[in-house]
Amino acid sequence: MGILGHFKGVRVKKGVAHFPHTGAEIPLNATFFKSAIPIVLFNSYLLLKKYARTYTGQPVIATLAFHPQPSGPWYNAWLAARMAGIDIIKDPYSADIVFVFDDKTESNMGEVLDSSLKAKAINLHIEDISKTHVAKTFAQVFGYDIEIDPLTYKGKAVQKSDINGTHDGIVIDCPLSPDAVKPGCAYQRLVDSTFSDRGSEDLRMAYIGGEIPVVFHKYKALDKRFGTDYAHVDIWNADQAFSEDEQRKLIEFCEAMGLDFGAVDVMRDKHDGRIYVVDVNKTCMPVLSLSQKEQRRAFRLIADALTNLIERVKA
């Protein structure tokens, strides 16, 4: 099936691409094509690296297959595998590693996956990345809540879709009347991360097999705080972003979620100083606003962590 399999069933209507397996809708506008340029450049770099490995006779670290969905070359898992010198093949049964690639909010792959594939699977046990489940797991690990009851909470809050990848959050005033509560939405406290006049700040940490190899410190305009348009991004290590105790709890949180490879969006509130997990993504894409040099540096760190994870799975 390969890369083209990711587009199976995709329909384009009125300038919007509709992906039936996830429900995602992506406008094919200038922003879309602008974001495609760094992906094309980075993939060209990775292709040259692959040719160089072949020419110099460097051994393949492992073979990896995505299942049940193919991954496009714009996802972190694909890019990290290529950076690490891992061959991506179609057949999950002949691959050394199977990456469970299912970008639906809820997945039952842990129940239905063939037993011969389970022993070599990554992301097999992450079954629910809804905002509600993320908030519940966060509270269990950290001991405090981000989720609120919109009927009784007093103050600013965030209303957003409970499903994955919508980026539709809005700031609201609570409490709400019962008829104002929207079904299918999650309600969370508004984390105030306006630490500077540059707008809102948040942290996207890469998580791979018990490691936090890189953290993207992102600056956003306040009116774009829930989107993917960044004013500036710094590449940090885990120690720059989190205390030792916070790192320990974040790893515990990811393990409780069943996440092996993905990204976790974290915000630090400037009033209480605490961190809050606001989103988990198991089929994440890169931060496109980085320069090619910075992108390569970040993915070398992610690729090293992926290599460590694969060595443990293969052992």
Provide mean pLDDT across the span 187-213: 91
* pLDDT, average across residues 274-286: 95
Are the CB atoms for 205 and 212 separated by under 8 Å? yes
CB 39 within 8 A of CB 74: yes
Surface-to-core class of residue 64, CB atoms within 10 Å of its CB (0-12 exposed, 13-18 middle, 19+ buried):
buried
Query: Does position 23 have pLDDT exceeding 60, yes or no?
Result: no
Q: Is 103 within 8 Å of 20 (Cβ atoms)?
A: no
Strand order of the sheet with strand 215-220? 232-236, 215-220, 200-208, 261-268, 275-281
Question: In this structure, are residues 263 and 298 in contact, taking their beta carbons and an 8 Å threshold?
Answer: no
CATH of 131-281, one of 3.30.470.20, 3.30.300.30, 3.30.70.270, 3.20.19.10: 3.30.470.20
At 199, the pLDDT band (50, 70, 90 cuts) reads confident
DSSP state of 128: B
Tokens of 281: 């993504």
Q: What is the pLDDT of residue 109?
A: 87
Residue ranges of the chain assigned to CATH 3.30.470.20: 131-281
Q: Is the pLDDT of residue 275 over 90?
A: yes
Q: What is the dihedral of CA 255, 259, 261, 262, to 10 degrees?
A: -110
Count CB neighbours of 230 within 10 A. 20
pLDDT tens profile 235-261: 999 999 999 999 999 999 999 999 999
pLDDT confidence of residue 134? 97
Determine the Cα–Cα distance for residues 31 and 9; give it in Å rounded to an integer. 23
- Choice among 16-20, 23-27, 36-40, 58-62 with the minimum mean pLDDT: 23-27
DSSP state of 196: B
pLDDT score of 32 more than 70:
no
Tokens read off for 30: 């200038």
205 pairs with which residues across the strands?
215, 264
pLDDT at 21 over 60: no
Contact 84, 304 (CB under 8 A): yes
Residue 219: strand, helix, or coil: strand
Handedness of CA 62, 67, 71, 76 (dihedral sign): negative
Give the phi and the psi of residue 140 in degrees, each rounded to 5: -65, -40
pLDDT at residue number 169: 86
Tell me the per-residue pLDDT of 59-102, one tens digit each, with 9 for 90 and over: 899 999 999 988 888 899 999 999 999 999 999 999 999 999 98
- What is the C-alpha to C-alpha distance for residues 174 and 44, in angstroms, rounded to an integer? 49
pLDDT band at residue 1 using 50, 70 and 90 as cut-offs: very low
> Is residue 224 helix, strand or coil?
helix
Predicted local distance difference test score (pLDDT) of residue 9 = 60
pLDDT digits (tens, 9 = 90+) for 207-226: 999 999 999 999 887 777 77
Higher pLDDT, 8 or 91: 91
**For the chain, where are the E strands, in sequence order?**
11-13, 16-18, 25-27, 63-68, 87-88, 97-101, 121-122, 155-161, 170-174, 185-189, 200-208, 215-220, 232-236, 261-268, 275-281
Closest by CA position to 255, among listed 234, 280, 231: 280
